[in-house]
Structure 1
């Protein structure tokens, strides 16, 4: 078996909310995987205002291993807020978004790295999504909507396993606070002419904890943020400021 394709350095960040049953296992799995593909690495736990021991466990892991970093939000900012904090905390030339719920296998990073540096973004695509039927149906409907509305080409927009060249997301102004963040990220990297590749990855059943993506408030916020992003991008294409006036 050939050795995995290597990259100079990677920042893996894990948006985590009430994941005390998953955080240690997930972090340790990444500590074991990263040296296989990267010369330097860091694993960043973004504790998004958890009400359980997620932050406490993450802090203990950081004290044990200098590769682990922790970003803590005093209050819950939503998935988008956690993603934004993870991107800002990243220091290595490649940045991997991986949901902190344990539904992705760190070994699948080796499926993504062969496509860099040719591609700026390599997105996971859940070959067999291990979620309830209604969640899968909603996910397909959302992906279809954003593909039509924003012209995004990838087929699994909300897959929480994406590898970026940091230079393509550095300084990016992101506004989504909820589940819409993945859509906004892909729309904005497209605006930066990023070359994107999609690769099949595993999606594992959640072992513990609760999903929040189907929450009605989460869904309503996503639609509100989608419309705002659509209007902003349309105004940019038409050479207008988002408020409707002509840009200088």
Structure 2
């Protein structure tokens, strides 16, 4: 097996809400993987107001290894809030978003690194999504909607496994605090002219804990934030005297 393509430094942040059954396994998997692909690294657990032992376990791991850091929200701020905090806490040249639920294999980072520095974003694309049918259907419908409405071209907008150049994220005013954050992030990156590459990655079954993405309040909030973003980007383009859809 050939050696993985190495990068100088990477911040991995893990949005985590009530993930006490996953957080230690995920962090230790990254502690084993990251020395293979980076000369310097940090792992940031974003504990988004968990009601279980997620934060406590993360703090213990940070005390054991200086590569591990913890950002704690005393009140749940939603997935978007956790992503925003993770981006702000990241200090390295490259930044990996990886959901903290254990459904992505840290070893798949080796599939992404060969495409930097040519691309600004290397986005995972789940080959076989390990979710129930309704969730998969909802995901395809959402991706189709945002591709049409915002002109975003990637095929798996909500895949929680994406590698970014940190310079492309600096100064970005992200506002979505719910599930819409991935769409907003990619739309604003498109507005900055980011060059994006999609790469197939594995999607693993959730071993423990519960998903919240299908919650009606979460869905309603996502649609509300989507329309707000659409109007904002449309008005910005009109102000610049440009036609076409936002995100192009």
Q: What does 1:208-227 correspond to in 2, within 5 Å?
A: 208-227=208-227
Q: Name the counterpart of 2:69.
A: 69
Q: What does 1:75-90 correspond to in 2, within 5 Å?
A: 75-90=75-90
Give how far 1:86 is off. Answer: 0.1
| RMSD of aligned residue pairs (Cα, Å) | 0.5
Q: Name the counterpart of 2:203.
A: 203
Q: Name the counterpart of 1:164.
A: 164
Report the 3-state secondary structure (helix = DSSP H, G, I; strand = E; otherwise coil) of the residue aligned with 2:219.
helix
Give how far 1:155 is off. Answer: 0.1
Q: Name the counterpart of 2:147.
A: 147
Q: What does 1:98-117 correspond to in 2, within 5 Å?
A: 98-117=98-117
Give how far 1:2 is off. Answer: 1.2
Runs of 4+ aligned residues of structure 1 deviating over 4 Å after TM superposition are none
Q: What is the TM-score normalised by the length of structure 2? A: 0.96
Report the 3-state secondary structure (helix = DSSP H, G, I; strand = E; otherwise coil) of the residue aligned with 1:111.
helix
Q: Name the counterpart of 2:96.
A: 96
Q: What does 1:127-142 correspond to in 2, within 5 Å?
A: 127-142=127-142
Alpha-carbon distance between aligned partners in 2 of 1:170 and 1:111, rounded to the nearest angstrom: 25
Q: Name the counterpart of 1:123.
A: 123
Report the 3-state secondary structure (helix = DSSP H, G, I; strand = E; otherwise coil) of the residue aligned with 2:31.
helix
Alpha-carbon distance between aligned partners in 2 of 1:31 and 1:48, rounded to the nearest angstrom: 21
Alpha-carbon distance between aligned partners in 1 of 2:22 and 2:171, rounded to the nearest angstrom: 31
Alpha-carbon distance between aligned partners in 2 of 1:31 and 1:171, rounded to the nearest angstrom: 29
Aligned residues: 240
Alpha-carbon distance between aligned partners in 2 of 1:6 and 1:188, rounded to the nearest angstrom: 28
Alpha-carbon distance between aligned partners in 1 of 2:170 and 2:74, rounded to the nearest angstrom: 25
Q: Name the counterpart of 2:234.
A: 234
Measured against aligned partners, the alpha-carbon deviations of 1:16-50 in whole angstroms (never above 9, x if no partner) come to 00000000000000011111000000000000000
Q: Name the counterpart of 1:4.
A: 4
What are structure 2's unaligned runs of at least 5 residues?
A: 241-248
Q: Name the counterpart of 2:21.
A: 21
Measured against aligned partners, the alpha-carbon deviations of 1:125-177 in whole angstroms (never above 9, x if no partner) come to 00000000000000000000000000000000000000000000011000000
Give how far 1:178 is off. Answer: 0.2
Alpha-carbon distance between aligned partners in 1 of 2:2 and 2:130, rounded to the nearest angstrom: 29
Measured against aligned partners, the alpha-carbon deviations of 1:165-196 in whole angstroms (never above 9, x if no partner) come to 00000110000000000000000000010000
